[in-house]
Amino acid sequence: MFLEKELVIFDFDGTLIDSVPDLAASVNHTLKLLGKEAKEEGLIREWIGNGAKTLVTRALANSLNRGPKESEIEEALEIFLSYYKEHMCDATYLYPDAKETLKILKAYGKKIAIVTNKPSAFVKPILEKLKIVEYIDFYLGAEDAEHKKPHPAPLLKACEIAGVDIENALMIGDSKNDIEAAKACGMQSIVVSYGYNYGEDTSMLNADAMIESLREVVYLLGIKPRVAVVGGGIAGSSVVYHLGRLGAEVELFEQKSSLVDGPPMCHLHAGGNLYREISDEQCVQLLCESIELIRLYPFGIDYRPTVIAIPTYDEGSMEDLLPRLELLQKEYAHLVSKDPNNKLLGEVEEYFELFSKEEIESLAKLEPKENPQSPKEWLIPFAKETDLSQIKFPVLFVREFGLNLFRIAASAILMLESLPNVTLHLQSRVTNITESEDGFIVEYEHKGRRYKKRVDYLVNAAGFQSGVIDDMLGFKRDRFVEFKAAYVTKWEQTRYKWPEVIFHGKRATPQGMAQFTPYRGGHFQLHGMTKEITLFEEGLVKSTPLSAQPELDKKFIEKIFVGWSSEPLKERTQKAIWHLSRFIPSFKEAKLASKPLYGAQQIPGDDDTLRAADFSFEGRRYARCEIVKASSVISMADAIVAKLVALGFFQKEYVGRRFEPSLQEDEVQELAKLLAKQREYPTELALLTTPR
DSSP 267-297: B--SS-TT-TTS-HHHHHHHHHHHHHHHHH-
Q: Please state, in angstroms and rounded to a whole number, the distance separating the CA atoms of residues 666 and 677.
A: 17
Q: Please state, in angstroms and rounded to a whole number, the distance separating the CA atoms of residues 378 and 368.
A: 8
Of 11, 97, 144, 456, the catalytic one is: 11
The secondary element (H helix, E strand) that includes residue 176 is: helix 176-184
Sorted by sequence, the CB contacts under 8 Å of residue 392 that are 6+ apart come out as 309, 310, 311, 312, 314, 317, 318
Strand locations in 66-211 (E): 93-94, 111-115, 138-140, 169-173, 188-192, 209-211
The burial class, CB within 10 Å (0-12 / 13-18 / 19+), for 80 is buried
The secondary element (H helix, E strand) that includes residue 429 is: strand 428-436
Closest CA to 284 of 611, 657, 616: 611
Strand locations in 116-182 (E): 138-140, 169-173
The burial class, CB within 10 Å (0-12 / 13-18 / 19+), for 499 is buried
**241 CA to centre of own chain:** 11
DSSP 476-511: ---EEEEEEEEEEEE-TT--S-PPEEEE---TTSTT
Q: Please state, in angstroms and rounded to a whole number, the distance separating the CA atoms of residues 619 and 621.
A: 6
Q: Does residue 592 contact residue 573 with C-beta atoms inside 8 Å?
A: yes
CB hemisphere CA count around 593 (13 angstroms)? 25
Q: Please state, in angstroms and rounded to a whole number, the distance separating the CA atoms of residues 88 and 145.
A: 23
DSSP three-state, residue 32: helix
Q: Which long-range contacts (CB under 8 A, 24 or more apart) does 23-30 make?
A: 23/48, 23/55, 23/84, 25/83, 25/87, 25/90, 25/91, 26/80, 26/83, 26/84, 26/87, 27/55, 27/56, 27/59, 27/80, 29/79, 29/80, 29/83, 30/56, 30/59, 30/76, 30/79, 30/80, 30/83
* Number of other residues whose CB lies within 10 A of the CB of residue 323: 10
Q: Is 11 a catalytic residue?
A: yes
The catalytic site residues sit at 11
